[in-house]
Amino acid sequence: MNESEPDIGRRYLQQTRYSRAGLGEKRTSFPRAEPYKDYPSASQRVKLKPEISRQAADLWECLRVRRSQRQYRDRPLSLAELTDLVWAAQGVTLAGRHYLLRTAPSAGALYPVETYLAAYRVEGLDSGIWHLNIPNFELELISVGDFRRVLVEAGIGQNFLGTAAAAFIWTGILNRAMWKYRERAIRYLFLDAGHICQNLMLAATALGLGCCPVGAFFDEEVERLIGVDGHDEVALYLAAVGPL
């Protein structure tokens, strides 16, 4: 790269800016990805049944005391606790004709972010990698095993990823958003993931649980762990959760 050229991050921001003169490059088109992902061959399925009014919490107190927590007790998460966390992150709040609107906002209601779960100590769940099926609101088991060490190594040695009861893994399916927003959609992927993770953190706080988000990881190793290609679907964000 010529030293006079801006670095790749700044070039991306410059080339995806909206202005009165135009809304980005119109000559590039992208195929529209399916709105939902599922695993028909999943070896197990666990239906999640959220009880939304199960526990009241003061939003302002949750905002005040929320912190990134990296030390967790050994007890497992109950399935009810996990269900509340999953619902807070991506629960369906309104079923429209063409959309399943959720607890976290998404640009154009396209919801390009997929939720996976590395479960270690969750009552009612085998240890392994699970995927959240949105239309059925159920977890699909896609890989059985204890992946704590693998995830710690993929997370650049952050040990709390292995001492938590579970870890959320979020990916982005690019063409679920790029067909509409083209290259600027990449900005929205990370915004969407941030909205989802904040919901998770506030829900964990309300439940007396700890949560810590992770943005530093070896992308290819995380993608290999959950079985995505790293091209059409890419790793975006992680979050560890566990009892305090």
pLDDT digits (tens, 9 = 90+) for 116-155: 999 999 999 999 999 999 999 999 999 999 999 999 999 9
Counting Cα atoms < 13 Å in the Cβ hemisphere of 214 gives: 30
Q: How many CB atoms lie within 10 A of CB 191?
A: 13
- Does residue 1 fall inside a structural domain? no
23 band by pLDDT with thresholds 50, 70 and 90 = confident
Task: For residue 3, tell me if it sits in a domain.
Answer: no
Split at pLDDT 50, 70, 90, the class of 6 is confident
pLDDT digits (tens, 9 = 90+) for 153-187: 999 999 999 999 999 999 999 999 999 999 999 99
Model pLDDT for residues 151-162, shown as the tens digit of each residue? 999 999 999 999
Task: Report helix, strand or coil for 187.
Answer: helix
Q: Is residue 203 part of a domain?
A: yes
Q: Are 173 and 37 in contact (CB under 8 A)?
A: yes
Tell me if the pTM is above 0.85. Answer: yes
The CATH number of the domain where 123 resides is what? 3.40.109.10
In a domain, residue 137? The reply is: yes
| Residues 145, 206, 235: CA angle, nearest 5 degrees | 40
Among 149, 94, 58, 113, smallest CA distance to 228 is for 113
CA distance 168 to 211: 10
Q: What is the pLDDT of residue 93?
A: 95
Dist CA 107 CA 219 (whole Å): 24
What average pLDDT does this structure show over 217-223? 98
Residue 76 included in any domain = yes
Q: Which of 81, 105, 223 is nearest to 166 (CA)?
A: 81
Taking the C-alpha atoms of residue 103 and residue 225, their distance in angstroms, rounded to an integer, is 27
Residue 1 has pLDDT above 70, yes or no: no
Q: In this predicted structure, what is the pLDDT of residue 171?
A: 98
Residue 195 lies in a domain: yes
Report the pLDDT value the prediction gives residue 20, as an integer from 0 to 100: 87
Q: Is residue 120 part of a domain?
A: yes
Question: Considering the domain boundaries, does residue 2 fall inside one?
Answer: no
Mean pLDDT of 20-46: 88
User: Domain containing 196: what range?
Assistant: 8-49+57-243
CB-based contacts of 77: which residues, under 8 Å, 6+ apart?
121, 122, 123, 165, 166, 209, 241, 242, 243
Give residue 56's pLDDT. Answer: 82
Structure confidence at residue 235 (pLDDT): 98
Cα-based angle 230, 215, 209 (whole degrees, multiple of 5): 120
SS3 call for 229:
coil
Q: Domain total for the chain?
A: 1
Can you tell me the mean pLDDT for 215-234? 98
Contact 43, 141 (CB under 8 A): yes
Distance CA 113, CA 99 (A): 14
Tell me what the pLDDT averaged over the chain comes to: 94
